[in-house]
Amino acid sequence: MSELLNTLMQDARVWQGHRHTRTTQPAEPTGYQVLDNQLGGLGWPRGALSECLLDAPGIGELHLLLPLLQRLCEEGKSVFWLNPPHTPYAPALAREGVNLDQVVLIHTEDEGDFLWTLENCLRSPVTGLVMAWPGKLASREVRRLQLAAEAGSNVCVLFRERRYAEQNSPAALRLELEPGEQQDLKVNVLKRRGSWPGQRCSLAMAQRADLSFRETTRIIRGPWSGSTG
């Protein structure tokens, strides 16, 4: 019994309020050293869900993922954008060194189609990153997505409304995002593996290209029973 208890206590998924546990779970650096420092020297967890909670799109959340986008596309991994509020500005992504051949933009028609698509993207061996903008998710649906993320061992970032911050979530990492002064992005760590929440930092975005969402023609559209457009 004692051996089992010791094993559980060493698991980074078991939160212990009195001390920090350095996790050995696989992760991808965010590309922002100040944020990685707040995340125990790691970054975006692989094989798990991450959540970015914000009031409205266009506050710098795409810049937060830009270093990871650049790195994974350079490695030949596919990056899926699932149901973004608008189509991202492709010329700016290209100027920032993102290989657009590795970027796949998908729009689905309903919740069932969205969950099916997201699960399959997460389980695919070609996937490096999935960024998704879901609506309301039930707890059982989040657990399904967590299992798919574990199977694929890639990075999944869900952009959700900030009001969901009060709800419980199995996500390994939860970040609350707010616009700051002079194009900075304020990041509040609500949850991370192996340690307590509450870390805060501010990331300078002024030197980044404008990746604001722009309305353009959609590239891929569901449902999948017919043709795409």
Would you state the pLDDT for residue 167?
85
Query: Given the structure tokens 């390994």, which residue do they identify?
Result: 172
Q: Where are the alpha helices (DSSP H) in 78-132?
A: 90-95, 111-123
Per-residue confidence band for 19, with pLDDT thresholds at 50, 70 and 90: very low
Would you state the pLDDT for residue 138?
84
Pick 88 or 124 by higher pLDDT: 124
Would you state the pLDDT for residue 121?
96
Cα–Cα separations (whole angstroms), residue 77 to 7, 46, 53, 125, 225: 34, 14, 25, 9, 26
Question: Which H or E run includes 193?
Answer: none
Would you state the pLDDT for residue 107?
93
Collapsing DSSP to helix, strand or coil, 112 comes out as: helix
Spatial contact of 64 and 30, defined as CB atoms under 8 Å apart: yes
Q: Is the pLDDT confidence value at 115 over 70?
A: yes
Query: What are the structural domain ranges in the chain?
Result: 26-204
Q: Is the pLDDT confidence value at 1 over 80?
A: no
The arithmetic mean of pLDDT across residues 27-52, rounded, is: 92
Describe the strand order of the beta sheet including 127-132 as a list of residue ranges.
103-106, 78-82, 127-132, 155-161, 48-54, 173-179, 184-191, 200-204
Q: Is the pLDDT confidence value at 170 over 50?
A: yes
Give the whole-angstrom CA distance, residue 149 versus residue 165.
21
> 26-204 sits in which CATH class?
alpha beta
The arithmetic mean of pLDDT across residues 40-67, rounded, is: 92
Give the whole-angstrom CA distance, residue 219 versus residue 158.
20
Would you state the pLDDT for residue 18?
41
Tens of pLDDT, residue by residue over 171-212, are 999 999 999 877 789 999 999 876 666 687 888 764 444 454
Beta bridge partners of 49: 156
